[in-house]
Amino acid sequence: MRGMPRRGRPPLLNTARAGKYIKTRAAVAKEVAEAQQAHIVENKAAEEEEKKLGVDRRVTRRRVGRRKVVEKVVISLGTESQSKEEERKKKRRGEDVGEGLVNKNKKMVESGGVSADKVNGQEEEGTTAPFPENVQVGGSPMYKVERKLGKGGFGQVFVGRRVSGGNERATGAAAQEVALKFEHRNSKGCNYGPPHEWQVYNTLGGSHGVPKVHYKGRQGDYYVMVMDILGPSLWDVWNSSGQSMSSEMVACIAMESLSILEKMHLKGYVHGDVKPENFLLGQPMTTQEKKLFLVDLGLATKWRDGAGRHVQYDQRPDMFRGTVRYASVHAHLGRTASRRDDLESLAYTLIFLHRGRLPWQGFQGDNKSFLVCKKKMGSSPEMLSCCCPAPIGQFLEIVVNMKFDDVPDYPKLISLFEGLLGADPSIRPINTDGAQKIIGLVGQKRSRLTSEEDDQPQKRVRLGVPATQWISIYNARQPMKQRYHYNVADGRLAQHVERGVHDGLYISSVASCSNLWAVIMDAGTGFTSQVYELSAFFLHKEWIVEQWENNYYISSIAGATNGSSLVVMSKGTDYTQQSYKVSESFPYKWINKKWKEGFHVTSMATAGSRWGVVMSRNSGFSNQVVELDFLYPSEGIHKRWNTGFRITSTAATCDQTAIILSRPRRKIGDETQETLRTSQFPSAHVKEKWAKNLYLASVCYGRSVA
């Protein structure tokens, strides 16, 4: 039995769109500014109109102090009503508005418009209490708050001048001028009390390259830290030096930055936001003016637990931490932070300071992070460092291929840059004492080991050149009959399926390449009946809902680049409820929401750049994770395999590959699973796998790596 597009029915256009990959601060600020400007214009127009009509404005004047709150409510309600009106229009036109849901016990269909993801609330100037004129916290002297030094994602920094006492020449707690860092109690960094940054400074403050916090406490609505005042940032120096730095200057920065990060990592933390703005020099005209410091520890996280073990690997594609321009690709993809991420960000920082620009600068819009990460992963170390001294390229090549829990070889990395420095340390633009100590401590030992280490081949994590390939998954099974067909045109699909059904086979997996279909049929599905539909649309909601009503459930889907789809629905599954979503980007937030409701991903497909994901209740899985990558998540797959997960769904666009890995509720006898990437459909390899009782479980065509 098979289903085909029915004549006379209006085409169902799927207009559901996923939340954007990320909203940048610039995009949020622009939206807020536009909304405020629109409100001002509307207010003026209303005043003019009310003057003509003689309307009393006293109520409005009383609400001026709450204008921002009123604005936000109005904007929110306007968006919601507009969304509902659009949804009503789509329903009248018969269009798909995003999500279908059916319950086996109680037949029910839900449809809901999918709006852009909301941006986390961001603190705006004017919405918080004014800064105090004087500060005294934690037993500190009284400081007068003077000019602003800077503003970051986790607070604002001002100069604090001691009201009485102190010494202009003194440093530290006795200094006449200090840096005062304010963070409002309602900011996202203070949800559970004092800022997270305080805990990090308790551990790191005063260590090599980290400024010391002398006092801290709360005054009024603000948490305040009293710190050493420092000089210009590396961004300031770069900007005042013609937006370029010499090879010697960059080499000094590289060596001393690595010595600072080595000490920070030794104490169990990764910084999480390495960039030129967060490296500061000491105060000019002091003995520390050539000393380098690393500041802003608000995003620092632990890479090891209390027992000294490395933290567990994970990926949350909706969790981005850092600065888009300098973040590692692993940070973009939401992977757990580790030491390699700081080093990759440092590599981008060095290239920026020397070349004056990075290739991904200039991307704008809500999907900026997506575009930047794609560009980073598509740029080889040779290309990125083409105009830089050779050590920068060597450094980048090493750090982008580090594994999640690799221990960085800091002395080796520091020594890469030694050849770019002059012989006399006293005339170097930046003090490199910290780096020289690291090299000196292990110099003798390293000279004996270098030749042995260099001979050891190292497997790359950033595997190579992006490519479009077949990705096939094989599971160990008891011997059974399996059949595959590929490069199948629409008109030939029916005869292949009918022949398979006649031989007792059902469709277990489908895929598409170049608008042609691949179909896997076998005798081990457990299905009792099956229908399928070829549709010009991705996905045909009306037909799916009709089959749900007949107790069929989606068992596999595929999409073609021309937007058409192949949906297979079966009886004999254990599913009791299903929901699906079509979106313009990988819908991780929706998947995460459904996980909490007891659903698991059971099928995935792509059509062009769109994703289709099917989730089911009673899937037989106890837990599920996602591996999403712009190349191929080889390291992540192996990490998951080691913790009991097995691949259960795959899909890929021309940009990204998504792998769903699941833990079965019931332990299976043979957990053997293998993956294969091939430029052509793996027909020759499949037969080799069959000889080892490994059978095709899932297949897709899209982004991989050569």
What are the structure tokens assigned to 139, written together? 């037993």
Cis peptide bond prior to 539, omega within 30° of 0:
yes
Q: Annotated catalytic, 273?
A: yes
DSSP-derived secondary structure letter, 53: H
**For the packed helices 339-355 and 390-400, what is the interaxial angle rounded to 10 degrees?**
150
**For the packed helices 67-93 and 25-53, what is the interaxial angle rounded to 10 degrees?**
100
DSSP-derived secondary structure letter, 124: -
Task: Let me know: does 385 contact 392? Beta carbons within 8 Å.
Answer: yes
Report the C-alpha dihedral over residues 200, 201, 206, 212, rounded to 10 degrees. Answer: 160
- C-alpha 293/C-alpha 256 separation (Å) is 9
Handedness of CA 697, 701, 702, 703 (dihedral sign): positive
- C-alpha 224/C-alpha 229 separation (Å) is 14
Distance of CA 420 to the CA centre of its chain: 35
For the chain, how many residues are written? Answer: 706
What are the structure tokens assigned to 364, written together? 């704008």
Which amino acid appears at position 59 of this protein? Answer: V
Which amino acid appears at position 386 of this protein? Answer: C
From the number of C-beta atoms within 10 Å of its C-beta (0-12, 13-18, 19+), residue 502 rates as: exposed
- C-alpha 144/C-alpha 177 separation (Å) is 9
Task: Let me know: does 606 contact 612? Beta carbons within 8 Å.
Answer: yes
**DSSP string for 312-372:** PP-B-TT---S-TTT--HHHHTTBPP-HHHHHHHHHHHHHHHHHS--TTTT--STTHHHHH
For the chain, how big is the Rg over CA atoms in Å? 30
Q: Is 181 marked as a binding-site residue?
A: yes
Q: Kind and range of the H or E element at 482?
A: strand 482-488
Among 96, 228, 273, 342, which one carries the catalytic annotation? 273
- C-alpha 180/C-alpha 144 separation (Å) is 10
State the catalytic residues. Answer: 273
* Residue positions forming the annotated binding site for ATP: 181
